[in-house]
């Protein structure tokens, strides 16, 4: 409890711009206000707090572990994602809960946010700008949900297939300064099986379908979108695709025209066939 109090008191003057030759930081001030609203609940659960505007981090693993997540995952991923994709910075705080205890994660997700069917790994609540993570399972979901939180400011109207595809791409990734690289992950076997059994719909249907979260296809949709973007990454086209798609979203809300432009003179059908062969060879 004392650590929590000392940490907040030490950081508030810096965040609010109090002191000689200092200027108020609007997002930092919002973080301080958010923390003020949450401080009693956080203290009651003995959660440690670290402020790194635009992030407010709270967790049950102690200060050292929270700082490791901040520096090694959250800030490292934010830096690389901004260098690669995102121009707009968050205009509101992002509250991130990092739970080492699955029991505490489940209980507080229900108690504080009314979640009844709590995901095993973690989730992002878009309307609240809040992330809850079960970090005992690893940090892959943390990066996934961080992409959603940062894309909210930079590309808020990205369609579901692309939003989830980019987030899923970095469930398994490497971070190196200004570079973030997606790697193969656990979604691959189901995707390969669907291709082999001729059950996977064309990429054009994935891109054009506004119902990304349909129950009969959600798992395959995630895998198909993820590995489409992994393929674009492999071809050196993903960063350009993101930026062109974002700029053209008014006339190309699905991203299909932008993709066809980038792969020309190859048709989308031929691109799809080449992509499937590449996936099967992974």
- Domain 2-154 sits in which CATH superfamily? Collagenase ColT, N-terminal domain (3.40.30.160)
pLDDT at 59 over 90: yes
Lowest-pLDDT choice from 13-27, 60-74, 248-262, 264-278? 13-27
Residue 149 near residue 127 (C-beta atoms within 8 A):
no
pLDDT at 259 over 80: yes
> In whole numbers, what is the pLDDT of the chain averaged over residues?
91
Rounded Cα distance, 3 and 46, in Å: 10
Say what the pLDDT of residue 218 is.
84
Rounded Cα distance, 79 and 192, in Å: 33
Per-domain boundaries in the chain:
2-154, 180-281
What phi and psi values does residue 250 have, to the nearest 5 degrees?
-65, -45
Strands of the sheet containing 48-52, edge to edge, are 48-52, 55-59, 94-99, 130-134, 122-125
Rounded Cα distance, 37 and 236, in Å: 45
* Per-residue pLDDT tens digits for 145-181: 999 999 999 999 999 999 999 999 999 999 998 999 9
pLDDT at 184 over 60: yes
Work out the average pLDDT over 6-23: 42
What phi and psi values does residue 116 have, to the nearest 5 degrees?
-100, -35
pLDDT at 198 over 90: yes
Work out the average pLDDT over 25-40: 94
Say what the pLDDT of residue 23 is.
62
pLDDT at 6 over 80: no
* Per-residue pLDDT tens digits for 62-85: 999 999 999 999 999 999 999 999
Say what the pLDDT of residue 261 is.
97
The length of the chain, given as a count of residues: 282
pLDDT band at residue 24 under the 50/70/90 scheme = low
* Spacing of C-alpha 195 from chain mean position: 27
Say what the pLDDT of residue 177 is.
86
pLDDT at 274 over 90: yes
As given in the structure block, the two tokens for residue 151 are 């894309």
Rounded Cα distance, 278 and 282, in Å: 7
pLDDT at 14 over 80: no
Core vs surface per residue 123-155: b (16+ CB within 10 A) or e: bbbeeebbbbbbbeeebbbbbbbbbbbbbbbbb
Rounded Cα distance, 171 and 198, in Å: 26
pLDDT band at residue 234 under the 50/70/90 scheme = very high
What phi and psi values does residue 20 have, to the nearest 5 degrees?
-65, 140
Say what the pLDDT of residue 21 is.
46
Is residue 252 within a helix (H) or strand (E), and if so which, with residue range?
none
Q: What is the 3-state secondary structure (H, E, C) of 115-164?
A: CCCCCCCEEEECCCCEEEEEHHHCCHHHHHHHHHHHHHHHCCCCCHHHHH
* Per-residue pLDDT tens digits for 239-256: 999 999 999 999 999 999
What phi and psi values does residue 242 have, to the nearest 5 degrees?
-55, -50
154-160, long-range: CB < 8 A, 24+ apart: 154/85, 154/86, 154/87, 154/88, 154/246, 155/86, 155/242, 155/246, 155/249, 157/249, 157/253, 158/245, 158/246, 158/249, 159/207, 159/210, 159/212, 159/253, 159/254, 159/255, 160/210, 160/212, 160/213
């Amino acid at each position: 409890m004392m650590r929590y109090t000392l940490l907040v008191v030490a950081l508030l003057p810096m965040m609010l711009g109090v002191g000689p030759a200092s200027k108020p930081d609007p997002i930092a001030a919002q973080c301080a206000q958010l923390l003020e609203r949450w401080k009693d609940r956080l203290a009651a659960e003995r959660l440690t707090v670290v402020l790194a505007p635009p992030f407010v981090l709270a967790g049950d693993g102690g200060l050292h572990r929270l700082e490791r997540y901040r520096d090694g995952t959250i800030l490292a991923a934010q830096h690389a994602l901004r260098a690669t994709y995102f121009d707009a910075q968050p205009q509101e705080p992002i509250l991130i809960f990092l739970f080492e205890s699955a029991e505490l994660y489940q209980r507080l997700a229900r108690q504080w946010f009314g979640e009844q069917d709590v995901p095993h790994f973690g989730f992002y609540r878009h309307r609240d700008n809040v992330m809850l993570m079960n970090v005992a399972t690893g940090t892959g979901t943390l990066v996934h949900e961080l992409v959603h939180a940062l894309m909210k400011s930079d590309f808020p109207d990205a369609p579901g297939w692309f939003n989830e595809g980019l987030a899923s791409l970095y469930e398994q990734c490497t971070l190196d300064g200004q570079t973030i690289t997606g790697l193969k992950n656990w979604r691959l076997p189901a995707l390969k099986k669907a291709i082999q059994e001729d059950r996977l719909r064309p990429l054009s249907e994935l891109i054009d379908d506004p119902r990304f979260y349909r129950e009969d296809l959600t798992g395959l949709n995630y895998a198909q979108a993820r590995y489409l973007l992994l393929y674009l990454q492999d071809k050196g086209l993903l960063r350009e695709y993101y930026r062109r798609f974002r700029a053209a979203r008014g006339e190309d809300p699905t991203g299909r025209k932008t993709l066809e432009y980038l792969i020309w003179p190859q048709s989308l059908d031929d691109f799809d066939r080449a992509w499937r062969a590449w996936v099967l060879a992974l």
